[in-house]
Structure 1
Amino acid sequence: MGKSTGTGGAGDGRIGAPAGVFLLVAFLAAGALGAAQAGTPIPGEVIQLTQFGSALGVAAVALLWPGRTRALPAGALRSGELRWGRGLLLLLTAPLITAVAVGAHGAVTGGVRFTGPGALESPFAVIVVAQLAGACGEEIGWRCLLQPLLRTRLGPLAASVVVGLVWGVWHVQVFTRAPLYAGAFLVMAVSLSVVMGLALERVRGSRLLLAGGFHALINLGMLMFMDEESGAVLPMALTALAALAAAVGWTAATAVATRREAPARVAGPGEAVRLP
């Protein structure tokens, strides 16, 4: 998979400073928002305020480099140029990951955990809307700003892995858990990042809605079928393995598609070849 400089105008200028400011603000804001939530009545099952640390990082970049914001996150909000096939496959991948993880958990433990909407402390409709809002609050930074920035220097797979690693570390609270739990979470984060990064490659419209929808579906599936929030290693490890399998599948499918498209991407005189 080759490098690209044609990611919605993101290839102009250096990326180090915008990426650095985004990460600094995203990490600091997430910590501050997490501390602030402890003093509010907002339940964690509804939404985690830390998710909006990423959005505040984007806001900081927007103040310092407004052109980058117009070319990257702003472009991700457009409704045009939506590739319904890739978008639908991405959204379907989320419940598939949950189903595989839940099936494996049931096979190992002999039972399937299910928390019905009526058993939740808050109305399920409120949780769904809040989860989507929170997921979009995260993804406007990770998949709509940082990923396109890195794509000006790296191929889609490498950029997705880097974003996934940083995104995983950004969830600093997981490192208070057992090492196996934290390691499994990092595998899951990188794998989900690869799925989203490859699925959204060359998708210019509705990137935020697709990434946020995928992210929210993963969170809702874990909320209703898994008990990883308790710190249990098994459900987190099985979810990580299911996400890894999905990432391998998307990587293989993307490689096949790239090979098929390569003959049609013949460079003209003086024009560089750009692979997807």
Structure 2
Amino acid sequence: MRGKWAGPAGLFLAVAFVAAGALGAWQPATGLPEEVLQLTQFGPALGVVAVAAWRPGQVRRLLAGRGGRGPSGPVLLSAVAVTAVAVAGAALCGVPVAVRDPGSLAAPFGVVAAAQLLGACGEEVGWRCLLQPLLRERFGPWASSVAVGLAWGCWHVGVFTRSPAYAAGFLTATVAMSVLLGFAWERVGRWRLPVAGGFHALVNLGLLLFLDQESGATGPVLLFGAACVLVALPWVLTSRRAARAGRAGGPDSIALI
């Protein structure tokens, strides 16, 4: 069993980290503003390509997904809720946040939104469509979600150049979002990439317009992490209730986790 997940997972992570660093170094030469699109986001996609070159059948199976015909709307609404809860928390706690005028962005807002979705899908094809189901088969929904959330957070190596509190808030957010998407996985099934990419893009747009993540201010990021935990909690509780109902109902019942 170890050889079926450890090798692909290790290769994916190695390529995702190295490729992201190389793409980030190349970005200034392209003249592409980072608030429009960060080339580092395609590091995980290149990790998928590397694993597919080694184990194409396994990658095809993981990317295809399984089951899941539930509505995707609640997942996308959860992304909007993350920003709303964080902004409400900032207002309640008196934490200053810099709200951006969409017209002040480096490109028209529609272009930025489309580019953010493209970049988010470049990440999520690796994190949510390859690595998370790969680990889920071996470790289950909880451990796989937390592990991918930590790896995803650490992949954003720039957060560790900030204060420890900033890094802790950011890692809390990535783990909570990974858990949310992990527990939504059974409902989404084959639509994981557009749904996870849409969720990711909406969160990034919320950070860009309302929470000024790139400023390095600790308060907004701590609120962002707390908001992600609060928004993920109903998904966890609902899935746990469904799992208990499935065990009580016997073999004909369907559990979400």
TM-score class, shorter-chain normalisation, is over 0.9
- 1:18 to 2:19 alignment: no
- 1:198 to 2:183 alignment: yes
Stretches of structure 2 that go unaligned for 5 or more consecutive residues are none
- TM-score, normalised via structure 2 length: 0.93
1:48 counterpart (38, 41, 54) = 38
Aligned residues: 256
Query: Which amino acid is the alignment partner of residue 49 of structure 2?
Result: A
**What residue is the counterpart of 1:82 in the other structure?**
69
Post-superposition offset of 1:109: 2.5
Query: Which amino acid is the alignment partner of residue 35 of structure 1?
Result: A
Post-superposition offset of 1:250: 1.5
**What residue is the counterpart of 1:5 in the other structure?**
none
1:167 counterpart (152, 167, 184) = 152
- 1:131 to 2:121 alignment: no
Post-superposition offset of 1:202: 5.2
8 Å CA contact retained: 1:52, 1:137? yes
After superposition, the C-alpha distances for 1:33-69 in whole angstroms (9 at most, x for unaligned) are 0101022210011011101000000000110000012
Post-superposition offset of 1:108: 2.4
- 1:94 to 2:84 alignment: no
**Greater percentage in helix:** 2
- 1:177 to 2:141 alignment: no
Consecutive aligned runs of 4 or more in structure 1 exceeding 4 Å deviation: none
- 1:62 to 2:52 alignment: yes
For 1:27 and 1:111, locate their aligned partners in 2 and report how far apart those are by CA, in whole Å.
Answer: 33
**What residue is the counterpart of 1:259 in the other structure?**
244
Match of 2:186, SS state, is: coil
Q: List aligned pairs for 1:26-45, cutoff 5 A.
A: 26-45=16-35
Sequence identity percentage: 52
Match of 2:190, SS state, is: coil
For the aligned residues, what is the CA RMSD?
A: 2.1
8 Å CA contact retained: 2:21, 2:40? yes
Query: Which amino acid is the alignment partner of residue 240 of structure 2?
Result: A
Stretches of structure 1 that go unaligned for 5 or more consecutive residues are 1-10, 268-272
For 1:275 and 1:229, locate their aligned partners in 2 and report how far apart those are by CA, in whole Å.
Answer: 36
After superposition, the C-alpha distances for 1:107-130 in whole angstroms (9 at most, x for unaligned) are 223766421221212110110000
